[in-house]
Structure 1
Amino acid sequence: MTPVITRSRRRVRWRAWWAAERGSATTEAVLIAPLLVLLLVFVAVLVHRGVEARLRIDDVAHQAARAATLHRTTPAAATAASKTATAALARAGLVCRDPSTRLSGRPAPGRTVTVRVSCTVDLGQALLLGTPGERTLSSTASEVVDVHRSQPSGARP
């Protein structure tokens, strides 16, 4: 025969069980805190990689625009911008897939040349956080063509 447990006995047992759980919140916090710190570190690394990639793409665009202003013809300026962007990406250590460079403007004295650089960047290890490991970044930079450098020899402004 099983004894009948009254409501008051249930309350007493519940209170006894609850009192026996003292200190469990501290134990849980000690066990969960390292996981939260690890998650915070992963988020910080992801943000850092994204910001660093953005800064490097901006720098590459500025270098490509400056290289484009040093040439007298549009095809030569476009080629120089593309080669400079590719070399700058390699020097920066940025893993960039399918880089593209687009030149707008004519390299005439005193005019502005604009270069747009875009590529797909591998942010790496971002899959652990459930975020995409790749992101397409682009940057645009404008430079003014130097009046004296862009003219053929012997010409005056």
Structure 2
Amino acid sequence: MLLVFVAVVVHRGVDARLRLDDAAHQAARAASFQRTPAAAVAAAQATATAALTHAGLVCRDAATSATTSANPGSTVVVTVRCTVDFGQALILGVPGNRTLSAQASEVVDTYRSQPTAGGA
């Protein structure tokens, strides 16, 4: 029985990490389509939140950060952090929760249009 319990806890950790990696990749891709750094950060945050919700990963203190200049050829780097609850694992001495993070990067398309001085 203890072995089954350990397997379930390990699976939860691996599953959470995979879902977090996927959310970071989706967020970086969404941010790479934006034309301004502010829009890239907003897109990364919205996409990561939606991806985690859709994946069914319940996070405490989820946070998403994105850095980019949004210039064609530059890189967007997104980091997603999530505190996952392992409450049932206290019997094994595993902490009740654990903060996991994932990072992904995407290149901003070199041939895309630039924002104009008027902001359009």
Pairwise same-fold verdict (TM > 0.5): yes
Equivalent residue number for residue 70 of structure 1: 33
Question: Would the aligned equivalents of 2:40 and 2:68 in 1 still touch at CA under 8 Å?
Answer: no
1:113 and 1:105 mapped to 2: Cα distance? 5
Question: Which of 48, 54, 61 does residue 85 from structure 1 map onto?
Answer: 48
Alpha-carbon distance, 1:124 to partner: 4.0
Query: Secondary structure at the residue paired with 1:125?
Result: helix
Listed as ranges, the matches of 1:93-112 within 5 Å are 93-112=56-75
Equivalent residue number for residue 135 of structure 1: 98
Query: Secondary structure at the residue paired with 1:94?
Result: coil
Alpha-carbon distance, 1:102 to partner: 1.0
Distance 1:145 1:122, change over 3 A: same
1:36-58 superposed Cα distances (whole Å, 9 cap, x missing partner): xx010011011110011111111
1:101 and 1:115 mapped to 2: Cα distance? 7
Amino acid in structure 2 at the alignment position of 1:57: L
Question: Would the aligned equivalents of 1:53 and 1:94 in 2 still touch at CA under 8 Å?
Answer: yes
Give the number of aligned pairs. Answer: 116
Question: Which of 106, 112, 118 does residue 149 from structure 1 map onto?
Answer: 112
2:112 and 2:10 mapped to 1: Cα distance? 41
Distance 1:53 1:150, change over 3 A: farther
Amino acid in structure 2 at the alignment position of 1:97: R
Alignment of 1:56 with 2:37, yes or no, is no
Question: Would the aligned equivalents of 2:17 and 2:100 in 1 still touch at CA under 8 Å?
Answer: yes
Q: TM-score, normalised by structure 2?
A: 0.90
Find the structure with the greater CA-based Rg: 1
Amino acid in structure 2 at the alignment position of 1:119: C
Percent identical among aligned pairs is 67
1:72-130 superposed Cα distances (whole Å, 9 cap, x missing partner): 00000000000000000100100111111111221110111100111111134212222
Equivalent residue number for residue 83 of structure 2: 120
The structure carrying a bigger strand percent of its residues is 2
Structure with the bigger RCO (C-alpha within 8 Å, sep 6+) is 2
The structure carrying a bigger helix percent of its residues is 1
RMSD over aligned CA atoms reads 1.4
